[in-house]
Structure 1
Amino acid sequence: MASVSESDDLFDCILMADDRFHVEGYREGYEEGTREGLLEGRNHGMVHGARLSAELSFYHGFAVTWKYLLQTNVDAKSKKRLKAVESLIGLISKFPFEDSQYENLQEDTERVRAKFRQVCSLLNVTADFRDYVSGSATMSF
């Protein structure tokens, strides 16, 4: 009787090998996909985070420079411009740079961009961030 159960186990092992290998392959593939996905997501986040940080840093430097230039003027137009520039600085200073899970990232980024466009309109300067970045790439010292 012992030989009959061993042969049954042998046939079960052979017949179930396909299912077993399928389950093992799925598990290994899932684990590998999870690892690769996390790595790819981290890299994607770093690249886009760096771009957003560079953009917001540019806006901040732009606003601080214009604030300095507008502070000496006392006419009504300059006061309106200065108020818009200070509002842009305020939006950027409230931006949560440390929070990687920030839920309103896109909305707040669009608010900053819209305020930047408004300030540029008031100052009569180009409002495209890419123009400034590409223009500085051709400079040499």
Structure 2
Amino acid sequence: MESLINNEDFLDSVLNLKKTHLNEGFKDRFNDGFISGKEEGREVGLKQKHGFEIGEELGFYHGFIDIWNPAIKIDPNFISSRVQKNIKQMEELICKYPILDPENVSIEEIMNGLSLKIRAISATMGLRLEHEGYPKASEIKEIEF
């Protein structure tokens, strides 16, 4: 009878060994997946934050175009032809921006071009324009053209 009990214990331990290894393997893979998931989530979050900042900057540039174009239509001599050309080029760069392709290699070139255009326009018109996020009302000074 004792040998029968030992055989059952042995079979139980063999079955439990398989279950124990499955549980340990699951825990190991779960922990590995949790760590890699946190790293991947952090990476995605950083990309989204960067995407938001780029969108904010594009909106900043587009806002100036939305102001300057109607002013030019009302009075074409209001802004010099050189500045008008830069404004048109800014508008073209914004239209070229690949919104649906964040991995596109031309993004940096477009953003640099927009930054250079806004600096050229600002310098020519004697404006101090900078993009540092949302401007506060107390920081906005009267702008004369």
Partner of 1:34: 36
5+ residue gaps, structure 1, are 1-9, 11-21
Following superposition, the deviation at residue 137 of structure 1 comes to 7.1
Greater relative contact order structure (CA < 8 Å, 6+ sep): 2
Following superposition, the deviation at residue 95 of structure 1 comes to 0.4
Alignment map for 1:66-77 (pairs within 5 Å)? 66-70=68-72, 71-73=75-77
Alignment map for 1:1-141 (pairs within 5 Å)? 27-70=29-72, 71-73=75-77, 78-130=80-132, 133-136=134-137
Helix, strand or coil for the counterpart of 2:127?
A: coil
Partner of 1:17: none
Q: Provide the TM-score with structure 2 as the length reference.
A: 0.67
| Deviation readout 1:47-105 (Å, 9 max, x if unpaired) | 2211110111110110231122235317xx61111111111111111101111222332
| CA shift in 2, pair 1:62/1:101, >3 Å | same
Q: Percent identity?
A: 19
Asked whether the equivalents of residues 64 and 89 of structure 1 are also in contact (C-alpha less than 8 Å), the reply is no
Following superposition, the deviation at residue 40 of structure 1 comes to 1.4
Following superposition, the deviation at residue 116 of structure 1 comes to 1.5
5+ residue gaps, structure 2, are 1-12, 14-23, 141-145
Q: What is the distance in 2 between the residues matched to 1:44 and 1:137?
A: 30
Q: What is the distance in 2 between the residues matched to 1:136 and 1:46?
A: 27
Q: What is the distance in 2 between the residues matched to 1:89 and 1:48?
A: 22
Structure 1 or 2: more helix by fraction: 1
| CA shift in 2, pair 1:26/1:114, >3 Å | farther
Q: What is the distance in 2 between the residues matched to 1:112 and 1:138?
A: 23
